[in-house]
Amino acid sequence: MFSEKNAKLGVTFPKGFTAAGVKAGIKKSGNPDLAVIYTKTEAAVAGTFTQNQVAAAPVYASKKVAATGTAHAVVSNSGCANACTGAVGDADAAKTQAVAAAALGCEPLDVIVGSTGVIGVPLPMEKVEAGVKQAVSELSPDGSEAAANAIITTDTHTKSCSTSITIDGKEVRFGAIAKGSGMIRPNMATMLCYITTDLAIDQKLLQEALSTVVETTFNMISIDGDMSTNDMVIVLANGEAGNAKITEKNADYDKVVETLHAISEGMAERIAADGEGATKFLKIHVHGTKTFADAKAVGMAVANSPLVKTAFFGEDPNWGRVICAVGYAGVPMDPEKTVVSFGGIPVYAHGVGAGADKDALAKVMAEHDIVIDVDLADGDAEATVFSCDFSYEYVKINGEYHT
HSE, CB side, 13 Å, CA atoms: give it for residue 329: 29
Q: What's the rounded Cα separation, in Å, for the pair 148 and 76?
A: 10
- Helix or strand (DSSP H, E) at 388: strand 381-388
CB atoms inside a 10 Å sphere around CB 248:
8
CB atoms within 10 A of CB 137: 11
Give catalytic status of residue 158 as yes or no.
no
DSSP codes joined into one string, 155-199: -SS-EEEEEEEEETTEEEEEEEEEE--SSB-SS-BS-EEEEEE--
Count the residues in the chain. 403
* Other CB atoms within 10 A of residue 142 CB: 12
User: How many other C-beta atoms can be found within 10 angstroms of the C-beta atom of residue 392?
Assistant: 11
81-102 burial code (b ≥16 CB/10 A, e <16): bbbebeeebbebbbbbbebbbe
Q: Which of 158, 163, 190, 289 is catalytic?
A: 190
Side chain identity at residue 152, one-letter code: I
DSSP secondary structure of 224-240: SS---SS-EEEEEE--T
**Cα separations in angstroms, 382 against 100, 287, 305, 331:** 44, 4, 20, 13
3-state SS class at 266: helix
Distance of alpha carbon 383 from alpha carbon 217, whole angstroms: 10
Q: What amino acid positions are annotated as catalytic residues?
A: 190
